[in-house]
Amino acid sequence: MEIEVVEGGEGEGRLYGGDAVGKEQTVWMSHGDEAARLPEGFRVVARSRQGTVAAIESPERRLYGLQYHPEVTHSTLGMETLQHFLFNVCGLSPGWKMEDVLEQEINVIKNLVEPNDHVICALSGGVDSTVAATLVHKAIGDRLHCIFVDNGLLRYKERERVMSTFESDLHLPVTCVDASDRFLSKLKGVTDPERKRKIIGGEFIAIFDDFAVELEHKLGRKPAFLVQGTLYPDVIESCPPPGSGRTHSHTIKSHHNVGGLPKDMKLKLIEPLKLLFKDEVRELGSILNVPQAFLKRHPFPGPGLAVRVLGDVTQGNALEITRQADEIFVQAIKDAGIYDSIWQAFAVFLPVLTVGVQGDQRTHSYVVGLRAITSEDGMTADWYKFQSEFLDNVSRKICNNVRGVNRVVLDITSKPPATVEWE
């Protein structure tokens, strides 16, 4: 949406600082909320071109309000607006560094975890949990016990690849647990995305509790904490910020490590990354000497392929179709040299049968969707513009090599209105 700084009658304010930011800008203002009446002592300092209040201020009380999101990349001058507010209006100095975050989180963990306490870390194979584990390992050393759960919802050869990385590159102490039958039996017949996420979150916690009991027998002391690689976007999408007092915020989707956690879980959480975005986590991981090849990995959702197989994940060979199509798609992206230009790319199984012709025979097979996005922080995203020749080759490879697929479609939806994952 286009907004303009108000001049004249209502009065230009400090929030935009005259020409410091600019008189016009495009902002992300996709919600339906609107300020119908101003609080006493406030004035409007920016409106949309349709007349909607976009920004207000009361300089005398040092209170300022925006009705849009300046922090996302879709707000073209959002960073300039925030910089002006922080450094010119508030008078702060730009002294914040990621090294400070690392030192602060290490101190928090050392003060939280008693000298004799042991901690479990849930490793998913993704960047977030790995950086969280490396950070906690730096804080408490060998009192950290990592667990990697094969829930039957992993990508093609993910278990073998991830365990090799943990052991050879990161040197983290990791126990691998095969719980695929356990997860898939609980998910059988479940089609609602929120139920899937909550079932998966509950099963993960149950497995971590079991692992804690095993460690208690081994160590003589039961671990009290669970480390998770929760990020700030997970918190935002799962629930209103803690202590915000907001009851009207919508849950976009319950991330299995936030909204999907059971209320009666026995382990206390350590979430050292919960106020960071993905790009900041990668910067933190670099400081912790996590290999760049690992830090550049595309994000993979905690619920795994459960949110990339629409409907019942146990239907037919849906998981295997998704794994094979995803592997072909991502490998083609790597071969084309564009992997690092894409935030996330994956295949989605659509429970839709369509008529096709393969090998001169009529087929009635499934549809695979392809999604690839670009983003800075995962809060907003645009779809990646592939060359048509690339898409043609990938579509042919999938249809020719993945049994049960005769049609490939491309998702060209940004976030918003869509989310990154389909479920």
Is 33 annotated in a binding site? The answer is: no
Q: Distance between CA 287 and CA 124 in Å, rounded?
A: 21
Banded pLDDT at 31 (limits 50, 70, 90): low
Is 127 annotated in a binding site? The answer is: yes
pLDDT tens track for 88-129: 889 999 888 999 999 999 999 999 999 999 999 988 888 999
Is 129 annotated in a binding site? The answer is: yes
pLDDT tens track for 295-311: 988 989 989 999 999 99
- 3-state SS, residue 165: helix
Banded pLDDT at 264 (limits 50, 70, 90): low
Q: Give residue 258's pLDDT.
A: 44
pLDDT tens track for 348-357: 999 999 999 9
**pLDDT at 235 exceeding the cut of 90:** no
The residue-averaged pLDDT of 387-397 equals 98
**pLDDT at 253 exceeding the cut of 60:** no
The residue-averaged pLDDT of 335-353 equals 97
- The pair of structure tokens assigned to 383 is 């779809």
Q: Give residue 11's pLDDT.
A: 46
pLDDT tens track for 46-76: 999 888 999 999 988 999 999 998 988 778 8
pLDDT tens track for 18-29: 666 878 889 988
Is 125 annotated in a binding site? The answer is: yes
Is 9 annotated in a binding site? The answer is: no
Q: Give residue 257's pLDDT.
A: 47
Q: Distance between CA 172 and CA 166 in Å, rounded?
A: 6
Number of H helices, E strands in the chain: 11, 14
pLDDT tens track for 151-185: 999 999 999 988 888 888 777 889 999 999 999 99
Is 419 annotated in a binding site? The answer is: no
Query: Which of 305, 145, 121, 146 is CA-nearest to residue 228?
Result: 121
Q: Look over the chain and give the mean of its residue pLDDT values, rounded to a whole number.
A: 88
Q: Enumerate residues 6+ apart whose C-beta is below 8 A from 357.
A: 363, 406
Q: Give residue 8's pLDDT.
A: 52
Query: Which of 178, 169, 177 is CA-nearest to residue 134?
Result: 169
Q: Give residue 238's pLDDT.
A: 58
Q: Give residue 281's pLDDT.
A: 94
Q: Give residue 245's pLDDT.
A: 52
For the range 320-323, what are the long-range contacts, defined as Cβ-Cβ under 8 Å and sequence gap of 24 or more? 321/349, 321/366, 321/368, 321/402, 321/403, 321/404, 321/405, 322/347, 322/348, 322/349, 322/368, 323/155, 323/156
Pairing state between β 361-374 and 344-358? antiparallel
Q: Give residue 239's pLDDT.
A: 54
Is 249 annotated in a binding site? The answer is: no
Asked if residues 256 and 303 have their Cβ atoms less than 8 Å apart, the reply is yes
| Residue 47, amino acid | R
Note the pTM of the prediction, 2 decimals: 0.77
> Highest mean pLDDT range out of 248-262, 314-328, 374-388?
314-328
